[in-house]
Structure 1
């Protein structure tokens, strides 16, 4: 079977190789992948920024979707033909995260999904909602679950809450869809008026161009009557965190997810004085994934895919991720 491998860091060094077909152990199934999707973590992994000491060769990309083509002798959860998605962390089934569970992430500690076939423990898979294509389903395991954990689990999002979303990448767009579904009021930022217009068609209540309005935190306060928002999906990291703290309400919730905005600093006194709850989000458990998938199925939510690349063009997909030109998710088709 064909698989991409990281042997040397750099997009240009990502290579296709031939690997042996996986053989399932007693509690495993073999999944034939039809699609894999990109996250910023995957780009950092390929470039050697996320973990310079990661084991190599490594199959990249944590997120994928496919069908079960073979099952082990003790498998009871799945049958041949089932459409499935591997969970981001294979051993985080439920409960609190711990170091052991965190060391079972696909596309990092374990081989990822940018390959034609993979063997997975039966407990590490989730069924695909029936109305989704493989390309759409492949976007859910990391970005979707991260947004779900940030707002619905950590944030306990409620109707009428005010939510600030930074940027228009995969996590932020999923968060926009989930917030709208609950009946929350949303504010979303971008440097592109075209992307803000697209966010508006998805139901964003307010949009802010942070390039033309660098003091976007002040505009958020204006839009909320100086009160501030209840929740912030903070994907910028150190480069945006202080502005996020400025415009969250007293006692509000900031879900810290990404590092897209680079370096910066913040005053911890402002966290104390506003009693802000700062919560790191590291994707989520299989149970969170299942709960999210059930809601997506019931509400007929469709992930936003900006472009689908062929398997041989995975490097071009990574270059698009690096450019920041995408809106929502980027997907790579796998197999025929």
Structure 2
């Protein structure tokens, strides 16, 4: 079969297509013929060179969908012919997150899905309902589940909430659609007026171009009559965190997800204490979160926003495109 593996090239890892052996099937595993994949900003971070972590030979990407073509002798939950998505953390199926679950992140510490076939434990997939195409389903495991856990599992979002969302990437647009589905107010920041207009069509209530308004925290306070946002999807990282904290409401939530501006803290947390607010570190979610999210999406007729689709043979172009930051929504890969 054809498969992509990360190979070192100069100062980074690049995905290279190789001929790979079909993996053998253990009794509790299923074999999936993959139909579609999607890429996340995380995949760019993983491809960056790190002298402490070897990525040589790693199969990249956490997100994909396909059809079960074979089941192990002990498999009882699933059957051949069902459409499924692997979950992001192979071992986080239900209950609370454990630190050891980090080692089971697909396309990171654990082999990813950018391969014509994969083998995975039957308990580490979700069944795709008929309402989603293969490409649509491929966008869900990381970005959508991240937005779901942030807003509903950790953030207790409701119709009285005001959500500030940074950007218009995958997590951002899923969060926008989820928040509007329950009647929350949504504020969107972006450097592009065109992207802001797109977000407005999806229901965004307040649009802020942060290049034109660098002190966007003040604009958020104005838009909320001085109260601030009850929920902030913090996707920027160190360069945006202080501004987020400035415009967070009393008792509000900073949902820490992204590192678009790098790593490291650059803020004074005294305000967090003084307004009785909460920071929640968000790292995707469990299989149960995924399943609950799918039910929610079906009830509210929510579909993923897909920007661009690349053929499997040109998967490297998906990396270049997400690095350009020109996308609005998800970037996908599929068979030609």
- The reply to whether TM is greater than 0.5 is yes
Partner of 1:181: 181
Distance 1:13 1:132 in 2: 30
Task: Using the TM superposition, give the Cα deviation of residue 38 of structure 1 relative to its aligned residue in structure 2, in angstroms.
Answer: 0.7
| Structure 2: distance between partners of 1:243 and 1:96 | 31
What is aligned with 1:153?
Answer: 153
In 2, Cα distance between the equivalents of 1:87 and 1:244? 30
CA distance in 1, matches of 2:45, 2:327: 16
1:88 and 1:141 in contact (8 A); partners too = yes
Superposed CA deviations along residues 219-249 of structure 1, whole A, max 9, x for unmatched, are 0000000000110011111110000000010
Give 1:12 shift: 7.5
Could you report, residue by residue, the CA deviation over 1:137-172 in whole angstroms, capped at 9, with x for unpaired residues?
A: 101000000000000100010112100000111001
Counterpart residue number, 1:281: 282
Aligned to 1:90: 90
Q: 1:143 to 1:52 in 2, by over 3 A?
A: farther
1:194-213 to 2 correspondences below 5 Å: 194-213=194-213
Q: Which moved more, 1:256-265 or 1:274-283?
A: 256-265
Question: Contact 1:162/1:230 (CA < 8 Å) preserved in 2?
Answer: yes
8 A contact 2:83–2:128 mirrored in 1: yes
Q: Answer yes or no: is the 8 Å Cα contact 2:7–2:13 preserved in 1.
A: no
For the residues of structure 2 that align with 1:268 and 1:208, how far apart are their CA atoms? 25
Q: Is the 8 A contact 1:186 1:206 kept in 2?
A: yes
Name the SS of the counterpart of 1:282 in structure 2: coil
Work out whether residues 13 and 47 of structure 2, in 8 Å CA contact, stay in contact via their aligned partners in 1: no
Query: RMSD between aligned alpha carbons?
Result: 1.4
In structure 2, relative to structure 1, the CA distance for the partners of 1:331 and 1:184 (3 Å cut) is: same
1:296 aligns with 2:300: no
Q: CA deviation at 1:324?
A: 0.4
* Preserved contact between residue 12 and residue 315 of structure 1 (Cα < 8 Å): no
How much has 1:129 moved relative to structure 2? 2.5
Aligned residues of 1:34 and 1:66 also touching (Cα < 8 A): yes
Residues 190, 208 of structure 2: 8 Å contact kept? yes
Corresponding residue of 1:163: 163
Per-residue deviation, 1:52: 4.7
Structure 1: 5+ residue stretches without partners: none
The answer to whether structure 1 residue 318 and structure 2 residue 332 are counterparts is no
Paired residue secondary structure (1:287): helix
- Give, in whole Å, the separation in 2 of the partners of 1:13 and 1:93: 30
Deviation at 1:11, TM superposition (A): 6.7
Task: Say whether the 8 Å CA contact 2:13–2:55 is kept in structure 1.
Answer: no
Q: Secondary structure at the match of 1:275?
A: coil
Secondary structure of residue in 2 paired with 1:89: coil
In the superposition, the TM-score normalised over structure 2's length comes to: 0.96
- Aligned-pair distance for 1:272? 1.4
Partner Cα distance (1:22, 1:215) in 2: 53
In structure 2, how many angstroms separate the alpha carbons of the residues matched to 1:252 and 1:291? Answer: 24
Higher deviation after alignment, 23-32 or 255-264: 255-264
After superposition, the Cα gap between the structure-2 partners of 1:258 and 1:82, relative to the gap in structure 1 and judged at 3 Å, is same
Kept after mapping to 2: 8 A contact 1:11/1:315: no
Shift of 1:46: 1.5
Could you tell me how far 1:88 is from its partner in structure 2? 0.2
Q: CA deviation at 1:261?
A: 2.2
Deviation of 1:269 (Å): 1.3
SS at match of 1:102: helix
The question of whether the paired residues in 2 share the 8 Å contact of 1:130 and 1:297 is answered with: no
In structure 2, runs of 5+ residues without a counterpart are none
Quick one: distance in 1 between partners of 2:127 and 2:297? 12
Deviation at 1:94, TM superposition (A): 1.2
Residues 54 and 109 in structure 1, CA contact (< 8 A), matched pair in contact too: no
Is the aligned partner of 1:118 residue 2:118? yes
In the alignment of these two chains, the number of paired residues is 334
Cα displacement (A) at 1:101: 1.6
The residue that corresponds to 1:5 in the other structure is 5
Q: Does 1:216 align with 2:216?
A: yes
DSSP 3-state at the match of 1:35: strand
Name the structure 1 match of 2:34: 33
The separation in 1 between residues aligned to 2:199 and 2:64, in whole angstroms, is 25
Shift of 1:109: 1.3
